[in-house]
Structure 1
């Protein structure tokens, strides 16, 4: 008969990479961990792990067994967590993936406010722009800008984000302010990303609905949003900066938006998670929290007629939330 505890220990050993690490995470002696895995192998009649003094590796059978069982074990643990959560406040570790651009902007205050509201939840945030397999890498929540890389994810669009073409006042004083999008090709460009390929601005005219694509050769390329913004502020050239991230720099005069009637095509910001089944309370509460926060922010911005007033209101909104 299958002993579910033996199976759970085996899964943990593989996830942790050693009997010692698995024992520490489970709070049991290494000898007991090893014995439980040996008992599981005996009941199956197959060796699951190759053991040497230096390393631990899965056999072919062990690899197949692990891949077939690990999702089931995780679902069992999630089901147990859901039932437990019904009687308790959200708790545990909430692990989320956030794009670099959001991590450099206003995301931090939302996370800080959520953790202050639910102090028993510890939040682990991983900022990355690489393609992430949320299930395999153990993420509870992922924020995505643009299209989702994995259609199997459950997603909720929170809002659309605009970005502004900006430059510093001193750079424009020296090189002249562009009058049309085509004028951008004669200016230095700071690009966010990797590779020296042209920066492509996909623009929409807010008055006529006309669209235009402009390709500009970058003079500086960086994969850090903060580095890009700092370069633009320090007179390196033009660049595309997310609207809410540019706000404070525009208000204090460090950045100047280049056009009043041309904007970059908006992209959706989605909150995604692997499954609707057995959703832990910490995840459900964070989703509800983010939806409420974004709705409140949108309500504030919709009531204000000018971009300057919207930027000022957003700045106050962030500062108020940080004071909680």
Structure 2
């Protein structure tokens, strides 16, 4: 037996208020025969005749009157729910939780966030930051911006790569790099590490070369790695923009090797392809301003 659905009750209320099957079917955007079938199934499920139909008019039976009286308040509440959800989806507003890498174009990002806040006064922005390896995806975040070289871990989240940042090997101007020509030459050098026991990756023609490096200093902060390299504490693998923004190109040397380090990728992650208006607004805004980061 057909089980009455919420739609069946909504169709019934629409039919009563429109006054005819023809008008109700047009309002619901369905064939008249389909609407008639839904009403017949509802009557069968309830075991009561709801309407008395003649060639000129239709009238509610006593059971139909009771059902309409009981259903009407609920359909009104459902309409309110649809309106509120529609407004939430179509109008950017609410709390926006972002997760960004620490020391990632901080001045530029600060300006972008401030401008976005002016453009969308109904959105409250909560910007969190992390250093080092990307943290686990957390449902409290609307958008997670990840800087990475390897493939991101498998996840249910949607991931979209936005930018690629070239990287180089840097050393103090006093560092003797005359004997360094290939990535494997770095194995015997003192390195400034972003994470312990993490090899450096270099881009080949068709493959990626992994080079084990060692060092006694581990610094998650790119700016701190830069400072350590300037003080001749070892070699540092850094995105070129970090050196350029710091204005320290004069006191550093870029080590030229047969292969370049794998570029750093900026990927944005979000929970679903269907995202709220607040999240879509920021993502679209950020992509429109992405030239500020390159």
TM-score bracket for this pair, using the shorter chain length:
0.5 to 0.7
Aligned residue among 106, 121, 141 for 2:143: 141
Is the Cα–Cα contact under 8 Å of residues 82 and 281 in structure 1 kept in the other structure? no
- Report the equivalent of 1:186: 188
- Report the equivalent of 1:283: 279
Over residues 35-76 of structure 1, what are the superposed CA-to-partner deviations in whole Å (9 max), with x where a residue is unaligned? Answer: xxxxxxxxxxxxxxxxxxxxxxxxxxxxxxxxxxxxxxxxxx
Over residues 54-113 of structure 1, what are the superposed CA-to-partner deviations in whole Å (9 max), with x where a residue is unaligned? Answer: xxxxxxxxxxxxxxxxxxxxxxx9994651463x5x3443211123xxx21325513532
Q: Structure 1, unaligned stretches of length 5 or more? A: 1-76, 299-313, 315-324
> After TM superposition, which residue ranges in structure 1, 4 or more long, deviate above 6 angstroms?
none
Over residues 301-323 of structure 1, what are the superposed CA-to-partner deviations in whole Å (9 max), with x where a residue is unaligned? Answer: xxxxxxxxxxxxx5xxxxxxxxx
SS in structure 2 at match of 1:228: helix
Aligned residues: 208
Is the Cα–Cα contact under 8 Å of residues 114 and 289 in structure 1 kept in the other structure? no
SS in structure 2 at match of 1:113: helix
Over residues 174-207 of structure 1, what are the superposed CA-to-partner deviations in whole Å (9 max), with x where a residue is unaligned? Answer: x6562333332332110002x3x2x4222125xx
Alignment partner of 1:264 is 2:261: yes
**1:277-316 → structure 2 map (5 Å cutoff):** 277=274, 279-294=275-290, 296=291
**1:105-254 → structure 2 map (5 Å cutoff):** 105-106=104-105, 108-119=107-118, 120=121, 121-128=123-130, 129=133, 131-135=135-139, 138-146=140-148, 147-172=151-176, 176=178, 178-193=180-195, 195=196, 197=197, 199-204=198-203, 212-249=209-246, 252-254=249-251
Is the Cα–Cα contact under 8 Å of residues 249 and 255 in structure 1 kept in the other structure? no
With over 3 angstroms needed to count, the CA separation of the structure-2 counterparts of 1:221 and 1:290, relative to structure 1, is same
Q: What is the CA RMSD across the aligned residues, in angstroms?
A: 3.2
Q: Structure 2, unaligned stretches of length 5 or more? A: 1-80
Give the structure with the higher percent helix. Answer: 1
- Report the equivalent of 1:4: none
Is the Cα–Cα contact under 8 Å of residues 188 and 218 in structure 1 kept in the other structure? yes
With over 3 angstroms needed to count, the CA separation of the structure-2 counterparts of 1:134 and 1:245, relative to structure 1, is same
- Pick the structure with greater CA Rg: 2
Measure the CA separation in 1 of the matches of 2:183 and 2:247.
Answer: 20
